[in-house]
Chains A and B, each alone.
Chain A
Amino acid sequence: MAGTKEIKTRIQSVQETKKITNAMYLIASTKLRRARLELDNTRPYFEALRGEIKRIFRTANDVDSRYFYPVNDDTPREGTYGCLVITADKGLAGSYNQNAIKEAMKLLEQHPDIKLFVVGEYGRRFFASHNISIERSFLYTAQNPTMARAREISALLLDGFDRGELKEIFVVYTDMENAMSFQARSARVLPFHRTYFNTSTGEGAATEPFEFLPNVRSVLDSMIPSYVSGFIYSALIDSFCCEQNARMTAMDSANQNAEELLGELSLKYNRVRQSAITQEITEVSAGARAQRQRKE
C-alpha cells in the first residue's frame, strides 16, 4: 500500500489539475456567450442574403454566371478543388478537432486533388504530420473570428476560383445544431447549384418581376463575394461556438473525474493513516507489555 506521503502528493496534484480545468471551463463559457451573441447578430443578414440569391434564381432562371452550375447539370467538375477546413488552435476540446479533420479526410478520399486552406493550429499540425500539403494556413483566426478575416479568406478563395485554379470550393466546419449537440459538416460554397437553393422552400414565389440594375449578372457578381465572406464568417463563428462548447463539456467531465478521484484518494489516505495509527498503538502497547513482563 502506498504511504501517506505519496497519496498526499497525488491529492495535491489532482487538486491543481482541477483548478486548471475549472478555470478553462469558466473561460470557455464566457467566450461561448460572447460568440453566440455575435452569431445572433449576423444571422439576419446572412439569412436575408441567402434568401435574396434564392429569389434571383427563381425570377431569372436563365442567368448564366461562372458561379453557377449550368442548368440541369449536376456532374461534379473536373480539376482542383479548394477546401477550407476550420479547426481550433488548441486541443482539449473533446472530439471537436478530430471530427472536423475526419470530415476533411472524407472529402480528400473522394477527390484527392484538393488544395487545403486550414484555419487553426491543430489542423495545420495534423496535416503537416501526415504529409498532406497545405496551400495556406491561417493562424489566430480560430480564436477571434472577425469579418475582416473572413473577407481576407474569401478574397483568397474567390481569387483562385476566378482564375480557374479552383473548380469547386468547400468549407468544412462544425455546426451547432442545438445547445448540446454539434456536428462536423462539409458544405459546397461555390459554384452554386440551383436545385440546392430551390429545394429548401419557405417563402412564396416572386409575384412581380424585378428590375435589375444594371443587370442580373453584375448584381450577382457584387452579391457573391459578400455571400461567400458571410458564409465563411458564420462558419468561423459557428465553429468557434462549437469549440467552446466542446471544451466546456470536456472540462466539465474532467472536473467530475477529478472530484471522483479526489474522493477515492482521500478515502484511501484516511485508511492508510488509520492503519498506521493502529499499528503504532499496537507497537507501543506490545512494547510496554514486554517491558512489564521482564520486570516481573
Chain B
Amino acid sequence: METFQVHILAADKTFYEGPCVSLIIPTSDGERGILAHHSPMIAAVKPGTLRYQVPGEKPRLAAISPGMVKVEHNDVLVLVDSAERPEEIDEARAQREIEEAREALLQQRSRQEHQLAQATLARALNRLRVKNMGIGR
C-alpha cells in the first residue's frame, strides 16, 4: 500500500505525526476516506471518530473535536481542538459530563450557555462511543 504523511495536531499536543495508509474522518457532509494521492482539499471536521491506519498495524481510533482537514501534495494536516485515544478516555468522567450537560440543557438558560452545554454533550457522547468501540475490537 502506498502511504502518505499525516499530521494530527490537537490544541494541547501533537497527537500523531508520521506515515499513514488510510484515514477516515467525519466531515460536515459525512465521513470521508483519504488514501494516498488524494486531490487537494480543505474540509470542515465535525466531532466524531477518526480512524487512521499506520502501515503494518491495525487501524487506530481517536475521538476528535471540530476543526479542519487539509490535503495537499500527499500530505494530510488535521487540525482539531482535541484528539484522544480510546485508552486515554476516562469512561466515568465522560459519563458524568454527559449527565451534567443534560442537566444544563434541561434548565432554561441563556442561548450561549445552551450552546456550550450542547457542545459539551456532543463531545462527551463521542468520547464514550469511541471508548466502547476501542474495547469492542
The chain A residues found within 8 Å of chain B, CB to CB, are 38, 41-42, 44-46, 48-49, 52, 56, 147, 151-152, 155-156, 159, 208-214, 218-219, 221-223, 225-226, 229-230, 233
CB distance from B17 to the nearest CB of A (A): 9
B 21-77 contacts with A by CB, 8 A: 27-29, 32, 39-46, 66-68, 70, 72, 77
Are the CB atoms of B12 and A212 closer together than 8 Å?
A: no
Check B81 against A213 for contact (C-beta < 8 Å). Answer: no
B116 near A: Cβ within 8 Å? Answer: yes
Known contacts A151-B81, A226-B67, A229-B11; 4 additional CB pairs below 8 A are A38-B12, A212-B42, A214-B29, A223-B44
Identify the 9 closest CB pairs spanning chains A and B, nearest first. A222-B44, A213-B43, A45-B9, A159-B112, A211-B41, A219-B44, A208-B40, A210-B40, A210-B42
Query: CB-CB < 8 A to B13: which residues of A?
Result: 41
Asked whether A41 and B12 contact (CB < 8 A) given A211-B42, A214-B29, the answer is yes
Nearest CB in chain B: distance from A61 CB, A: 15
Decide if A211 touches B40 in the complex (CB within 8 Å): yes
B41's nearest neighbour on chain A, judged by CB, is A211
B112 engages A214 (CB within 8 Å) = no
Within 8 A of A (CB), among B91-137: 111-112, 115-116
B13, closest chain A residue (CB): A41
Total number of A-B contacts with CB less than 8 angstroms? 98
Q: Which of A151, A152, A211, A218 contacts B44 (CB 8 A)?
A: A218
Contact (A230, B11) CB under 8 Å given A48-B79, A49-B79, A222-B67: yes
Nearest chain A CB to B99 CB, angstrom units: 17
Chain B residue numbers with a CB within 8 Å of A151 are: 81, 116
Instruction: Tell me, yes or no, whether B89 is within 8 Å of chain A by CB.
Output: no
Whether B116 lies near A42 (C-beta < 8 A) is no
Q: Which residues of chain B (1-25) have a CB below 8 Å from chain A?
A: 7, 9-14
In the complex, what distance in Å separates the CA atom of A214 from the CA atom of B43?
Answer: 7
A223 touches B67 (CB 8 A): yes
Q: Are B12 and A155 interface neighbours, CB within 8 A?
A: no
For A233, give its contact among B11, B43, B115 (CB under 8 Å).
B11
Question: B110: nearest residue on chain A (CB-CB)?
Answer: A159
**CB-nearest residue of chain B to A219:** B44
CA distance A211 to B79 in the complex (A): 17
Q: Is the CB of B66 within 8 A of A222?
A: yes
Q: Contact: B41 with A222, CB < 8 Å?
A: no
Give the complex CA separation of A88 and B27 in angstroms: 39
On whether A44 and B12 interact (CB within 8 A), knowing A213-B44, A222-B45, the answer reads no
**Distance in angstroms between the alpha carbons of A49 and B45 in the assembled complex:** 13
For A222, list chain B residues within 8 Å (CB): 28, 44-46, 66-68
CA distance A213 to B14 in the complex (A): 25
Q: How far is the CA of A159 from the CA of B79 in the complex (A)?
A: 23
Query: Which chain A residues border B112 with CB–CB below 8 Å?
Result: 155-156, 159
Q: CA A208 – CA B41 in complex, angstroms?
A: 10
Q: Are B79 and A226 in contact (CB under 8 A)?
A: yes
CB–CB B43/A209 < 8 A: no
CB < 8 Å neighbour of A223 from B10, B14, B68: B68
Q: How far is the CA of A135 from the CA of B43 in the complex (A)?
A: 36
Closest to B82 in A: A147
Residues of the B chain whose Cβ atoms lie less than 8 Å from the Cβ of A213: 27-29, 32, 41-44
